[in-house]
Chains A and B, each alone.
Chain A
């Protein structure tokens, strides 16, 4: 397999940097700064320090015995990104980009957020490093995630509610990009997922690959081999690419990316860009995209705000077309069921996003042998989703005992 991206940010035919000229110099500056940082031992050391002492890495690769026994089949291991400071993998990326911001001599950052996980992770590292932080969040998400808005404000960030469009993640990205365009001289955009214009997909992947690198080392230590299969949920694709990337060359390791199937693919109300979309350009890159025949981007739907995005990172589009990763979707209902399953079998309440990956294990497990190893990226914890999960379980009936 070819390793991407190319110099110009292509992953096969996907990727690129489709941004206004005003942003282009900043994009090139970022690319240069990132290249230099990668080669600078002082930067690596600083990263390693924060990953360990501040975020709490490495995260455990936990053998979920009761879950494995319940599902039958393979030994299931959970990569516990939920144990990171702030409760998800998002901070692996925000700490890296915040340090890059400092390197570029910028003192302000802007970011988008859906559920608020990336916003909280950005506000957190901004507080840590003394950066001025502004977060754009869709009006609808501000309403749904009031507590996270307060959390970001408590951390010293300014949260701007976005009225445009349907007031969800896609609109928050639009506004954050507009803000960045107007303030590009002194502001860095901390993009939250492995999408957007080059070099963001690469930067985010490289900051998130610690997930897969640790997993690889840990599974060899405990099992003496690579896993037969790996599963991760895919919103924009950052936790998944971080987990997958170090295994891409190991053809014997099967990989599964799980998208949000929302109310079911046939209803059209989902966020399954790879499963159901067509190639198109949104937020700076060419990738699979939910859009109508006229090239208008469609709204995504998912119970999980972090997966509620009509686009996806270009490297996933490439891995899909190359046949290296299988992408599939699970519904809101299946994800909710998986929340309950993992809570009851392991005492771990997963984020709704991560629950999509857990739900997919139910489909995979019966097809795997008892000596096989299945690794699941548990990208985040469920605390932020308590209200959503409670409401759904109370109205859903069948989730009660």
Chain B
């Protein structure tokens, strides 16, 4: 049921002729006790799925906003275990699929097999590890498959055609199309060829293609969603929640339609 939950969510959106919107939040930022409430809030706003960041001390794929959120979460004592325990509490009633985004070391330290089964227990549908390229994914694929958890792969602007092909063929959950050369964080604009790139990805990918990194305004959401199956928004959501600006989150998610 874990991975299928994600597939169903994307299918439902597509059937309605709509686009997916996956917000990212940093687990433990703003207190772990508020985590389930934040998840419910985002689901109520219309999130297709939710990406849950587990903080790591050295997040090389992240820009300043998510780095700062990670530091706040770590300072609040957030650990892999406390996050999984917290989300497990509402597993039965939760309909929105959850995907975890973290770096390899916290997973490795927990134990890959143990992590996968703890994720399954907590009702997690997918895993994103930005420091795990195609060449190294053998480290987790077996364990995730066994627990029916999707390994969500990232494809970059710099990916060669052969790599794009390989990533697209393996795609499960969704294919995460990184829209900038660089780290997460708000951007004013994107490269001109982005639309063509995204469109080409949707043609080869076995799973929905979502654009993410730098997506931060309703205009971005509408613009990029034309070319693919939807967007992932991280820094802007993290920032708005940190500022207590929930209206901004609502408006952003509403712009997906």
A residues at B contact (CB < 8 Å): 8, 16-26, 164-165, 170, 174, 177-178, 181-185, 278-284, 286, 289, 291, 293-297
Contact = CB atoms under 8 A, between A and B. Distances in A.
A297 B181 contact: no
17 contacts: A8-B135, A18-B132, A18-B136, A20-B133, A20-B156, A21-B133, A22-B178, A178-B61, A182-B182, A184-B158, A281-B103, A282-B58, A294-B79, A295-B80, A296-B57, A297-B57, A297-B105
A181 B182 contact: yes
Interface in B116-167: 130-136, 153-160, 163, 167
B58 A283 contact: yes
Interface in B45-100: 55-61, 63-64, 67, 74, 79-81
A291 B105 contact: yes
A388 B103 CA distance: 36
A293 B109 contact: yes
Given A280-B109, A295-B56, A296-B55, 10 more contacts: A17-B136, A24-B163, A25-B163, A165-B57, A178-B182, A178-B183, A184-B158, A294-B79, A295-B105, A295-B108
Nearest to B59: A174
Interface SS of B by simple majority: loop
Could you say which interface size class chain B belongs to?
35 or more
Given A22-B178, A177-B60, A182-B183, A294 B67 contact: no
A181 B62 CA distance: 11
A174 B58 contact: yes
A286 B163 CA distance: 23
A332 to B, nearest CB: 24
Contact of B159 (A21, A165, A177, A286): A21
A19 B61 CA distance: 9
Nearest to B60: A177
Contacts of B130: 20-21
A103 to B, nearest CB: 19
Interface string B165-184: 00100000000001011110
Contacts of B108: 279-281, 286, 295
Contacts of B134: 21, 24
A294 B80 contact: yes
A148 to B, nearest CB: 24
Given A181-B183, A182-B181, A22 B58 contact: no
B110 to A, nearest CB: 7
Contact of A17 (B59, B63, B135): B135
A20 B61 contact: yes
A296 B77 CA distance: 11
A26 B163 CA distance: 13
A164 B104 CA distance: 20
A238 B74 CA distance: 32
B207 to A, nearest CB: 16
A21 B170 CA distance: 15
A22 B182 CA distance: 8
A365 B74 CA distance: 46
